[in-house]
């Protein structure tokens, strides 16, 4: 079975045709439990998410903030395995019909085996992978197998990326480009928002791929601001925090569904 990269491309194109940004929700797999994580994906889609990223919890999450680290720790202590992530992708996609990607550091894939990981992700109906720490110049093996299984390879660009590096990254990627912004960090919101907008402009100069912005986007107002200049708005920690703060799982699912609804409105006001 081939993966769902085309479904991802269609979801982004449909949002563009509606003159809005796509809402992309990130949730860690296995949090609060494997079953609970699957229900959380269903909840954010019911609220209005167009695309979902399922995080593969990792013991050394160098790019994740404390909220996602806390959720990852809960999932890892619960014994989450790659097989559980594949099950999450399979059941979440089957239940919602939206494209589901896996966001993971490279080390777990390397240990698991690239061929095995890509084959299983495609078989589960996955749309692709976001690989925040895989250098483009070391990605040929991954891209070969991802292409074979029709999986998107999403790389991350940052405000510090020089133009030549942006061009190399976007040439190697597929699906969309993940533009990392620190928008929303206390005290630097306005300037970082401008930084994100400039990064999107520079990235678009190198590619026709949609450019989606994440890191620090947490409120409908942030979503509206980012939707004015990006093709997609990625929200993760805000969903995870709602679940961590909830008194029980049912309340957490309701909270993330409500937040997704508010964010979905935000991305439509551009």
- Is there a catalytic annotation at residue 110? no
Which residue among the candidates 64, 84, 91, 120 is catalytic per the annotation? 64
> What is the C-alpha separation between 43 and 61, in angstroms, rounded?
25
Q: Please report where in the chains the tokens 């050394």 appear, as a residue.
A: 60
Angle, helices 114-123/140-148, rounded to nearest 10 degrees: 30
- Is there a catalytic annotation at residue 84? no
Angle, CA of 249, 178 and 246, to the nearest 5° = 15
- Residue 131 is given by DSSP the state -
- Residue 173 is given by DSSP the state -
> What is the C-alpha separation between 217 and 234, in angstroms, rounded?
7
- Here the tokens at position 79 are 């014994």
Which residue among the candidates 39, 53, 120, 231 is catalytic per the annotation? 53
Distances (CA, A) of 247 to 37, 72, 148, 242, 251: 16, 19, 44, 10, 7
> What is the C-alpha separation between 171 and 227, in angstroms, rounded?
24
Residues noted as catalytic? 53, 64
């Amino acid at each position: 079975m081939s993966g769902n990269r085309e479904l991802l491309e269609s979801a982004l194109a449909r949002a563009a045709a509606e003159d809005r940004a796509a809402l992309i929700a990130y949730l860690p797999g296995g949090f609060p439990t494997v079953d609970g994580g699957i229900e959380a994906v269903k909840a954010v889609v019911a609220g209005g998410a167009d695309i979902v990223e399922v995080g593969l919890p990792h013991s050394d999450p160098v790019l994740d903030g404390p909220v996602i680290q806390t959720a990852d720790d809960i999932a890892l202590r619960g014994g989450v395995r790659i097989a559980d992530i594949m099950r999450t992708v399979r059941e979440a996609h089957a239940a919602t019909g939206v494209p589901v990607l896996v966001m993971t550091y490279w080390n777990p894939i390397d240990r698991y085996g690239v061929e095995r990981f890509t084959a299983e992700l495609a078989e589960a109906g996955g749309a692709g992978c976001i690989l925040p720490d895989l250098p483009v110049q070391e990605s040929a093996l991954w891209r070969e197998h991802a292409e074979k299984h029709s999986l998107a390879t999403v790389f991350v660009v940052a405000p510090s990326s020089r133009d030549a590096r942006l061009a190399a990254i976007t040439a190697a990627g597929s699906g969309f480009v993940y533009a990392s912004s620190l928008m929303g960090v206390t005290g630097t919101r306005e300037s970082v928002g401008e930084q994100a907008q400039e990064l999107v402009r520079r990235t678009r100069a190198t590619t026709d791929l949609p450019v989606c912005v994440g890191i620090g986007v947490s409120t409908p107002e942030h979503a509206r601001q980012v939707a004015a200049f990006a093709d997609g708005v990625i929200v993760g920690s805000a969903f995870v925090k709602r679940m961590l703060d909830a008194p029980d799982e049912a309340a957490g699912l309701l909270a993330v569904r409500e937040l997704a609804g508010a964010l979905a409105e935000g991305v439509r006001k551009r």
